[in-house]
Structure 1
Amino acid sequence: MSSAGVGAAVPAATWVLLRGLAREARHWGDFGNALAAQLGPAHRVLALDLPGNGVRHGETSPATVAAIAAAGRADLARRGIGPPYVLVALSLGAMVALQWCDAASEELAGCVLLNTSLRGISPFWQRLQPRNYLPLAALLRPATPVEQREARLLELTSSQPEQHAAVLARWAAIARQYPVAPRNAMRQLLAAARYRPPVRAPALPLLVLASQGDTLVSPQCSQRLAARWQAPLALHPWAGHDLPLDDPDWVLREIARWWRGPR
């Protein structure tokens, strides 16, 4: 990577934020606005809802990552939002981003992959750490109260859930307004479990970010991915799986360093 940063040749782009399992655009909180302010007016930032989540919660979630990625691309095309895109993607969203790279790399100027895991690169017990199997299964039961489910998800994805009372209230409100059907959550989980990334690294700039405090997905998954594809890697010392929630400023700094180069 040159000292000018990978974005030196990209004067303007649409930055697309992609969330993980059963999450939607509003789970990014204020991160999109902060990223837009950092990038400046030449760049657009939007968070995308994928089928089964958010405003698309009434749709059936595809059971493959390829179909999820195709749906995201089709949504942007339908809205008249064209490339180049830069994808900022967390967990399952990062798998969607990699499939997008494989299917249409010409549309992309770069990808930032956060706390993801990939079949064929990491073992299943690191992709989803065993301590989480039973809690996640319990959360998929339709009878689980919204507040209880969202509180448990916050505990699973943040290293400091006690600091996020306001976030928990927002998440519960989101879940009541646009509930994700358990069947759709299971289909997304199946898509993530089955997805295999391309053998070759995408022919575009990548940045891999991971949290050493992630107790849901082992940070070794991101480390292996970065090593295999010789991509730059930054490790956060304490954040949980939801890195943009626990320390958004750190994520913004790492993106700026990658995109613009050292300042």
Structure 2
Amino acid sequence: MTNWLLLRGLTRDQRHWGQFHHELAARLGVRVVTIDPPGFGTRNGHVSPRSIAAITDDIRARFEPGDERWSLLGISLGGMMAMDWVARYPAEFERCAVVNTAAPALVRPHQMGGGLVSLVAGKQFRSLDAHEAAALALSSNRPADELTELAATWARYQREAAPVSASALGQVAAAVTFRLPARIPVPLLVLTSAGDRLIDHRISRRLAARFDAPLRVHPDAGHDLPLDDGAWVCERIAEWLGPVD
């Protein structure tokens, strides 16, 4: 049995996993741990580094695996961190799963959607509540009325642990300069959403092909797949792990 460490995406912290880590723990019967990246959540007093490797190393220095076996799951920017981590420190994790992640080398010019750019650029002109509502409208395909309360909760997260603007810029710089590892030396699972309006799901198809990894595609969820259908993610991981002796 392998426990799981979860890594969140751009400008998000461990609170944004919601109930997903509890869902995964219950489905697999293992420990599931979340952690904040530098610059966000409990680490908002720090400034995020400007490279994926430096972000990974910051998190790695704080993670305490003990003598237990671990696997790693990352979504979006967290997927870049996950691939970087297992590529450079392959003995530390047994498996790696990534959700709706990308790398500049896999992106075609016509797949560079303007939604994320507009969201980030317009943040300074919106209230926190309006910004989080806009972010969820773009990243989730759940009905709008289900996202209203969640947007207010996420805006509260920002008020409670506001990151400095340099941290968001640092993460963006890290994402656009990220280079895929030459190989992923542990089993890799690629999960994606056909309804993702932030990262074209065909990028995940290229990622899976690059590393000869299994690919599972949700038919209609948005970019935040664990939010839209956490149970589906848990089932795909459980199937990938196979029966436990």
1:81/1:144 CA distance change after superposition, 3 Å: farther
Q: Partners in 2 of 1:161 and 1:23 — Cα distance? A: 21
Q: Partners in 2 of 1:189 and 1:36 — Cα distance? A: 30
Alignment pair present for 1:26 and 2:15: yes
Q: Which residue of 1 aligns with 2:201?
A: 219
| 1:93-112, Cα deviation, whole Å (9 max, x unpaired) | 00000110111011011011
Deviation at residue 158 of structure 1 after TM alignment = 0.5
Q: Is the 8 A contact 1:154 1:161 kept in 2?
A: no
Q: Is the 8 A contact 1:105 1:203 kept in 2?
A: yes
SS in 2 for 1:247: helix
SS in 2 for 1:59: coil
| Structure 2 length-normalised TM | 0.94
Q: Partners in 1 of 2:141 and 2:60 — Cα distance? A: 33
SS in 1 for 2:4: strand
Alignment pair present for 1:255 and 2:240: no
Q: Partners in 2 of 1:189 and 1:241 — Cα distance? A: 17
Q: Is the 8 A contact 2:133 2:148 kept in 1?
A: no
Q: Which residue of 1 aligns with 2:45?
A: 58
Q: Which residue of 2 aligns with 1:133?
A: 117
Q: Which residue of 1 aligns with 2:98?
A: 113
Q: Which residue of 2 aligns with 1:69?
A: 56
Q: Is the 8 A contact 2:87 2:185 kept in 1?
A: no
The percent identity for this pair of structures is 40
Partner residue of 2:141 out of 149, 155, 159:
159
Aligned AA (1:56): R
Q: Which residue of 1 aligns with 2:76?
A: 91
SS in 2 for 1:220: helix
SS in 1 for 2:158: helix
Deviation at residue 227 of structure 1 after TM alignment = 1.0
Alignment pair present for 1:241 and 2:226: no
Aligned AA (1:257): E
Q: Partners in 2 of 1:131 and 1:151 — Cα distance? A: 14
Partner residue of 1:181 out of 158, 161, 164:
164
| 1:54-92, Cα deviation, whole Å (9 max, x unpaired) | 100110101000001111110114xx6455321111000
Q: Which runs of 5+ in 1 are unaligned?
A: 1-10
1:83/1:125 CA distance change after superposition, 3 Å: farther
Q: Which residue of 2 aligns with 1:4?
A: none
SS in 2 for 1:164: helix
Q: Partners in 1 of 2:10 and 2:66 — Cα distance? A: 24
Deviation at residue 261 of structure 1 after TM alignment = 4.8
SS in 2 for 1:88: strand
| Structure 1 length-normalised TM | 0.87
Aligned AA (1:186): L
Q: Which runs of 5+ in 2 are unaligned?
A: none
Q: Is the 8 A contact 1:52 1:58 kept in 2?
A: yes
Q: Partners in 2 of 1:158 and 1:230 — Cα distance? A: 28
Partner residue of 1:208 out of 182, 187, 190:
190
SS in 1 for 2:190: strand
Q: Which residue of 2 aligns with 1:47?
A: 34
